[in-house]
Amino acid sequence: MIQLNDAKGISHCTVFDSETSWYDLLTDDEKIVINENSVSITFKKGETVCKRGAFASHIYFLEDGLVKVYLEEKNKNLILMLAIKNNLLGMAAIFDGNNKLPYSITTYTDSIVRMIDINIFRQLLKQNSAFSYHVINLLNEKTAQIYGRFFSLTQKQLHGRLADILLCLSNRIFKSTSFELPLSRADLGDLTGMSTESIIRMMKEFKDDGLIGMHCKNIELLDIARLERISEFG
């Protein structure tokens, strides 16, 4: 289990990555039910899996790929979280008053999504408490993450927010200090609550200060300790 809020401060992380498998908690019969009531769909990079406001008919299990979960309204965008493979998405709609999806999902890379009938999923939650207990833990982990990000975006300024997201991408998504970004600068903006121009300026500043290396989409974190200090102080 990954620690989300350490003693030092309130960390900002936006990736959800669960190792435990909910599927293993189902009985053999239940597994059959899931299999018969779900389909695996392939999405290309940049395709939309679902849109906020639509009726929620499925729970999405991301079998492979990288997606963003986001809110959009007028020209304002906010990425709520990034998700990598083995994530259950769309659970917030399980009992939303009106059964509408509370967010949209779009892929960053080619992705495979298993779409599970929401009523079947509800049924399993109601009948299998080991499964529903596990789901509660998943939800709580996401909630803790959202709190950290909420704090970061409302209380820190640009430097801190950029440091946060770079550390998060490195630790949680790419698991390496150097990686090739599938997100555009505009997406980084939607993730950190800043304008595209500010993202660019700030990244250049980080580069000039020797905190990161950067050639187009290729990023390398050079001074993690200093990035962490920037994240902490703001």
Partner DNA sequence: AAAATAAACTGATCCGGCGCAACTATTTTT
Partner DNA sequence: AAAAATAGTTGCGCCGGATCAGTTTATTTT
Residues that bind a copy of itself (CB under 8 A): 1-5, 7, 9-10, 52-53, 71, 73, 76, 78, 80, 91-98, 100, 102-103, 122, 125-130, 132-133, 135-137, 139-144, 146-147, 149-151, 153-155, 193
Question: Could you say whether residue 201 binds DNA (CB under 7 A)?
Answer: yes
Q: 173 Cβ partners below 8 Å, 6+ apart?
A: 15, 66, 82, 84, 179
200 makes contact, choosing from DNA, a copy of itself, none, with CB < 5 to 8 Å by partner type, with DNA
- Beta carbon nearer to a copy of itself, 23 or 147: 147
Q: What angle do CA 87, 173, 133 make, to 5 degrees?
A: 30
CB of 201 to DNA, least distance (A): 6
Q: 28 Cβ partners below 8 Å, 6+ apart?
A: none
- Beta carbon nearer to DNA, 197 or 209: 197
114 makes contact, choosing from a copy of itself, DNA, none, with CB < 5 to 8 Å by partner type, with none
Interface with DNA (CB under 7 A), residue total 19
- Beta carbon nearer to DNA, 44 or 51: 44
Residue 94 has a CB neighbour count (10 Å cut-off) of 15
Instruction: Classify each residue of 121-140 as buried b or exposed e, where b means 16 or more C-beta atoms within 10 Å of its C-beta.
Output: beebbeebeebeebbeebee
Two tokens at 117?
């009938």
CB of 202 to a copy of itself, least distance (A): 17
SS3 state of residue 143 = helix
225 makes contact, choosing from DNA, a copy of itself, none, with CB < 5 to 8 Å by partner type, with none
- Beta carbon nearer to a copy of itself, 114 or 142: 142
Two tokens at 47?
């395709």
Residue 160 has a CB neighbour count (10 Å cut-off) of 22
Which x/- pattern, by CB under 7 A, does the window 27-56 give for DNA?
------------------------------
CA distance 102 to 222: 38
CB of 198 to a copy of itself, least distance (A): 14
195 makes contact, choosing from a copy of itself, DNA, none, with CB < 5 to 8 Å by partner type, with DNA
CA distance 83 to 163: 19
Site for DNA in 170-199 (CB under 7 A): 184-186, 193-198
- Beta carbon nearer to a copy of itself, 35 or 150: 150
CA distance 188 to 165: 8
